[in-house]
Amino acid sequence: MNSITPQSSSEDFDFFIGNWQVSHRRLKHRLVSCSQWDNFSGTSTTQKILGGAGNFDDNRLDMPQESYHAATLRTYDSGTGLWSIWWLDGRYSDQLDAPMQGQFINGIGTFYVEETFEGKTIKVRFLWTRPTPDTPRWEQAFSQDGGLTWETNWLMDFNKID
């Protein structure tokens, strides 16, 4: 019997509830063929909201240049089977962009949105994977050609601390 779940559910992010130490790896410059990375740490605390139909995390990012706080809001629409994800950067707390949208298929969460980056329209992709059952990974990639090619520019590896 195949144990692969082909569709998302409100339980997709249950693995991510709790307190986490985060190892960040982010390209110094995006979409300019840069190969230099910044490595830094952070923390994240995630809890369920909306009776389990969403979750919220509070983050601290200790970047080389500065430390800041950010938050993520995720909600699940049982009618469409899609998740929506909003990122709120504490340095720009009056800005809330269009949400990423997507779903989990075969244990991998894939989410997309169109954004403007340095005056150009790009496609942004988030991937949620679990290299091991207890170590989730998030990755962000940008595409300038409508999703034909992708530049991965940020990775976060999570280690549970409680």
Is 9 a domain residue? no
Residue 72 lies in a domain: yes
> What pLDDT is recorded for position 8?
86
The beta-strand segments (E) located in the chain are 18-27, 37-49, 54-62, 67-77, 82-89, 100-105, 108-117, 120-132, 135-143, 151-160
pLDDT at 93: 86
pLDDT score at 133: 85
Residue 96: its pLDDT value, please? 87
* CATH number of the domain to which 74 belongs: 2.40.128.20
The two three-digit tokens of residue 149, written as one number: 């090619």
22 pairs with which residues across the strands? 42, 158
State the pLDDT at residue 145. 97
Residue-number span of the structural domain to which 43 is assigned: 14-28+35-90+97-160
pLDDT in tens, the chain (162 residues): 444 444 789 999 999 999 999 999 999 999 999 999 999 999 999 999 999 999 999 999 999 999 999 999 999 999 999 999 999 999 998 888 889 999 999 999 999 999 999 999 999 999 999 998 889 999 999 999 999 999 999 999 999 997
135 is a domain residue: yes
Distances (CA, A) of 22 to 47, 61, 90, 98, 137: 16, 8, 18, 25, 10
Model pLDDT, residue 2: 42
Give the per-residue pLDDT at 72.
96
Look at residue 39 and tell me if it is in a domain: yes
Distances (CA, A) of 24 to 95, 109, 155: 23, 19, 6
How many domains is the chain built from? 1
Q: Look up tokens 């998302």; give the residue.
A: 8
pLDDT value of position 128: 98
The CA radius of gyration of the chain, in Å to the nearest whole number, is: 16
Residue 105 covered by a domain: yes
